Structure 1
Amino acid sequence: MATKDFAVRTEPHIARLGELGELHFVAEVFGDEFLNGYHRVTEAQAAVGGQEDLTKMDPAVLRQVYGSMREFLGSLMTQESAERWLRFEVIKAGKVVDHFRSRAKAEEKAAELGGTARVEDKSMRVPDRVLLELLEWSVELYGGGNDRPTTPSSGSSRASRRAGTPGKASSRSKVSTRTAGRSAR
């Protein structure tokens, strides 16, 4: 009989955001859920193309990219942190009627209520660079970074070429030289 122990994380991962507080991420995620969420992020990013000048982008497309990143990150957080990270309040007659973690669901509810019902985004605000750093960190945590290899060792890259150009001249020496790894006879 063979026995093997497997490490399963149970404590949440913590992102400290200075005075904004902490965000807690679930200890482990299922691969398919992670990949599906990350796929939505990469699809949204593909819509932007390789454009780097944000001032020339369609604001609706940019909002979609940021929204998909925020939703993806929220899906990896504990319930309490996700409620702070993504919060869309439905307001009617100056009172909060309901709140959601999805803008689409909040707008749906506001439409149901009709009249003066509106949606206010009360989500946690962070600078864009922090949003991107959180995204990269989460990919490292759940996508195989840290202490887990992302590919089998047989999938390793080939060694880099040596710097410089190979020489064209023949060796002046007529004596056989030792080659690394082989012994002289």
Structure 2
Amino acid sequence: MKKTFALNTEPHVADVGGTELLFQPEVMGDDFMDAYAELREAQRGSGVDPDDLSGADPDQLRQISRALRSFLAYLMLPESADLLTRLHVVKAGAALESFTNLEEAEAYAAAVEGGGARVRDALRLPDRVLVELLEWVIELYGGGERPPMSSSASAPASPPGGRPGTGASRSRGSTRTRGR
């Protein structure tokens, strides 16, 4: 007996507002889990509860967004990863310099003569799109469920043993209808 298993060879494509982001055809499970663990650690390290962002500091939210972008970039092909993680330092609407490291971009922005420079993502996306991309890649590479990161995230309990009952269900019983 022979069983053949296919491997994806074509990149997965996420079309985001007309911009195509290319993701690796296959990602090894341990690589995916390691990257996901880093994302979760960054979320925990920020001190922000991802389920309740109401009281979060904007800088903490930016940190989570950067971690999410880094996670997604890890799963992308290099050109798409560069686009997703690239930062521009802008002043008066003009891009002054590009970076891939947030600390370097912030240092450059702080040193711009006359002040007023800001760090912006080169590919600006609403957070909801980043979250949708996260959910999509979890489905692609993680089998559709968030990877377990704690003992409380273990598999659901098995159904109870024993035989199913043999009694008739009222919902399955026949009902009389008029005109028949």
Name stretches of at least 5 consecutive residues in structure 1 with no aligned partner. Answer: 161-178
Distance 2:27 2:119 in 1: 30
1:129 shift after superposition: 1.1
Specify which structure has the bigger relative contact order, considering alpha-carbon pairs within 8 angstroms and separated by 6 or more residues: 2
* Larger radius of gyration between Structure 1 and Structure 2: 1
The percent identity for this pair of structures is 40
> Which aligned pairs between 1:17-166 and structure 2 lie closer than 5 A?
17=16, 19-46=17-44, 47-49=47-49, 52-54=52-54, 56-89=55-88, 99-104=98-103, 106=105, 110=108, 120-145=119-144, 157-159=157-159
Deviations along 1:35-89, whole A, 9 cap, x unmatched? 22211221233321366243x2122221111110011111111112122212124
Deviations along 1:66-125, whole A, 9 cap, x unmatched? 11001111111111212221212479xx9966x4433245567x59xx775x88434211
Name stretches of at least 5 consecutive residues in structure 2 with no aligned partner. Answer: 149-154, 168-180
User: In the comparison of the two structures, how many residue pairs are matched?
Assistant: 147
2:166 corresponds to: 180
Q: 2:14 is matched by which residue type in structure 1? A: A
The answer as to whether partners of 1:13 and 1:24 remain within 8 angstroms in 2 is yes
Deviates most, 64-73 or 25-34: 25-34
SS state at 1:48 partner:
coil
The answer as to whether partners of 1:88 and 1:119 remain within 8 angstroms in 2 is no
Q: 1:16 is matched by which residue type in structure 2? A: D
* TM-score normalised by length of structure 1: 0.62
Distance 1:125 1:135 in 2: 16
Distance 1:156 1:7 in 2: 29
Aligned-residue Cα RMSD (Å) equals: 3.5
